[in-house]
Amino acid sequence: MKVFCVHCGAAQDVAEASPGMLTCQTCGKQFSRVLRPAPVTGGGGNSVVLTVVAALLAVPLVVAFIGIVAAIAIPNFIRFKMRAKQTECRTQLLTLYRAEVDFVAANGKPTFLVSELGSTPPPLSRYRYFLSEGPLAPPGAPAPAGATGFEAEAPLDGAVGVLPEVFAGGVTLGPGAGENTFTFACLGNLDGDSTPDVWSISSVSRVGAKGEAIPPGQPHNDVNDLSD
């Protein structure tokens, strides 16, 4: 039978009745008679091949997984950025609306001149703002006396269409049908296509295209550039 030296690993041919302590025939050192499995030789290449094959098989799975994650995450991230841009329009419309409410309270009638409201759009505005039909104040400059809105400071990508005259609930831009009623709007383009992003805010209650109630002073997305 074979046993192996615990010091050098050399195989020893010994009889079954050999004593417990043996002397290695190679290194001359003594060791207890402990049976060890013969060292594996010549088979290491197979394990390396298997490892390489497994790694190659895993690569397409990893690539596919990354592709799936990217397909889900990237559109959501782009949509999130566009919604963040829409926040500018909603916030500015609310600012203009509150300024107009204060003006009506002080003067008994609304104004549609931006110079009288004392409001300016945020820096690098992505939207045009309309109080009524008329000239727009240029970006980064004092509003002319007759300006009824603000031009966008950041370039509007794509072919932005004409601002609709009628918004949710049938209201029109500028003076409303009733005394001291008004509707403001903004227009931008978020994705560079031919569809604009249009929002409006009115001093009257409205009903949206889906039958939803739109109370006074609430910005409404009349044309959604994210879905249209």
**CA 86 centroid distance within chain:** 13
Section 129-146 average pLDDT: 87
Average pLDDT over residues 172-192: 90
**What is the CB-side half-sphere exposure of residue 155 using CA atoms within 13 A?**
4
pTM of the predicted structure, to 2 decimals: 0.65
Residue type, 25: Q
Q: What is the pLDDT of residue 72?
A: 62
**How confident is residue 83, by pLDDT bands cut at 50, 70 and 90?**
low
Residue 38 binned pLDDT confidence (cut-offs 50, 70, 90) = very low
Range among 152-156, 196-200, 203-207, 223-227 rated most confident: 203-207
* Residue spans per domain, the chain: 1-53, 78-223
**Averaged over 191-206, what is the pLDDT?**
89
**Which of the two residues, 36 and 123, has the higher pLDDT score?**
123
Confidence label for 102 from pLDDT (cuts 50, 70 and 90): very high
Handedness of CA 7, 10, 11, 17 (dihedral sign): negative
How is 174-210 classified by DSSP, letter by letter? EE-SSTT-EEEEEEE-SSSSS--EEEEEESS-EE-TT
On the question of pLDDT at 157 being above 50, the answer is yes
Structural tokens at position 55: 């790694």
**Using CA atoms, how far apart are residues 223 and 173, in angstroms rounded to an integer?**
15
pLDDT of residue 75: 53
Query: What would the mean pLDDT of 161-178 be, rounded to a whole number?
Result: 87
Whose CA is closest to 184, among 198, 43, 193?
198
Mean pLDDT value across residues 15-36: 68
What pLDDT digit, counting tens, does each position of 110-122 carry?
Answer: 999 999 998 777 7
Helix (H) or strand (E) holding 4: strand 2-4
* Mean pLDDT value of segment 80-105: 86
pLDDT for residue 7: 74
C-alpha closest to that of 157 among 192, 194, 198, 197: 192
